[in-house]
Amino acid sequence: MVGNIILDHCLSSSKVGAVISLIRKKSDNTHSKLNEVIIEDFTDYAKHRDLFKNIDSAFFCIGVYTGSVSDKLFKEITVDYAVSFAKMLKDNSPDAKLCLLSGAGADRTEKSKTSFALYKGMAENQIDKLGLEFYAFRPGYIYPVEQRKEPNLMYAIMRSLYPILRLLGSNFSIQSTELGKVMLDIGLNGTDKKTLENKDLINYLEEQRDY
């Protein structure tokens, strides 16, 4: 969801000259800026090393819903996929900015009993140690602006409760389009804060609107 929004922003931005999209299967997108590359194993980019050269900004948005896969696979997708990507980026474009779609509650103490918080924290820690210009984005509930089939009952309920969540303030939710805009902007321009909680993302948007 968020990755597609960032991709659309990249393709429409005059600041972006070319985009390499690492995907599971080919899409129907034929934009002149876009080079889609099918990846068979997201833990091993060895044969795609050249794709990681001369990169200015990278966005890692691959994820999976809690409970939809085994804990082992959840950890592999959340930690191993992200860290493998970051290591290849560091080896080939050490000055690149890396934006990771993490999540609210990510636990860098790695003591959480919750898989989501534990593994998101692990991914952040391991990537941070690589020395890249690294930004961890920790949104709360991401409201899907485009209609979609919700993955489970909890998300269907959250969608219906979104107007209330929005009224509760900037700590709890953000629209998918807002998140995509913030991630692209920071990926291109950087910012002082490296770990951005939901309230930081909302504040960033409001500051941009004031200019």
pLDDT at 148: 55
Q: Are 108 and 121 in contact (CB under 8 A)?
A: yes
% of residues, the chain, pLDDT over 70 = 87
Q: 137 and 100 in contact (C-beta within 8 Å)?
A: yes
Of the candidates 35, 44, 116, the residue with the CA atom closest to the CA atom of residue 81: 44
| Mean pLDDT calculated for residue range 98-111 | 97
How confident is residue 141, by pLDDT bands cut at 50, 70 and 90? confident
144-200 tens-digit pLDDT: 767 656 555 565 666 566 666 676 667 778 989 999 999 999 999 999 999 999 999
Helix (H) or strand (E) run with residue 85 in it: helix 81-92
Backbone angles phi, psi at 37, to 5 degrees: -130, 120
pLDDT band of residue 5 (cuts 50, 70, 90) is very high
Side chain identity at residue 169, one-letter code: G
Q: What is the pTM of this model?
A: 0.89
Write out pLDDT tens, residues 44-72.
Answer: 999 999 999 999 999 999 988 777 899 99
Rounded to 5°, angle at Cα 43 from 42 and 44: 95
Smallest Cα–Cα separation from 10: which of 24, 21, 25? 21
> Which pLDDT score, from 0 to 100, does residue 167 have?
66
Q: What's the token pair of residue 104? A: 């609210």
Query: Range of 201's domain?
Result: 2-210
Interval 32-39 mean pLDDT: 97
Distance CA 178, CA 199 (A): 12
SS3 71: helix
Specify whether the CB–CB gap between 201 and 139 falls below 8 A: yes
Q: What CATH code is carried by the domain that includes residue 62?
A: 3.40.50.720
The structural domain count of the chain equals: 1
Separation in Å, CA 98 to CA 47, 147, 167: 21, 29, 32
- pLDDT of 122: 98
The pLDDT assigned to 46 comes to 94
pLDDT in tens, 81-99: 999 999 999 999 999 999 9
Integer angstrom CA distances of residue 115 from 72, 95, 198: 10, 31, 20
Question: What pLDDT, on a 0 to 100 scale, did the predictor assign at position 1?
Answer: 81
pLDDT at 163: 62
Residue 18: half-sphere exposure toward Cβ, Cα within 13 Å: 9
Mean pLDDT in the chain?
90
Check residue 129 and give its pLDDT. Answer: 98
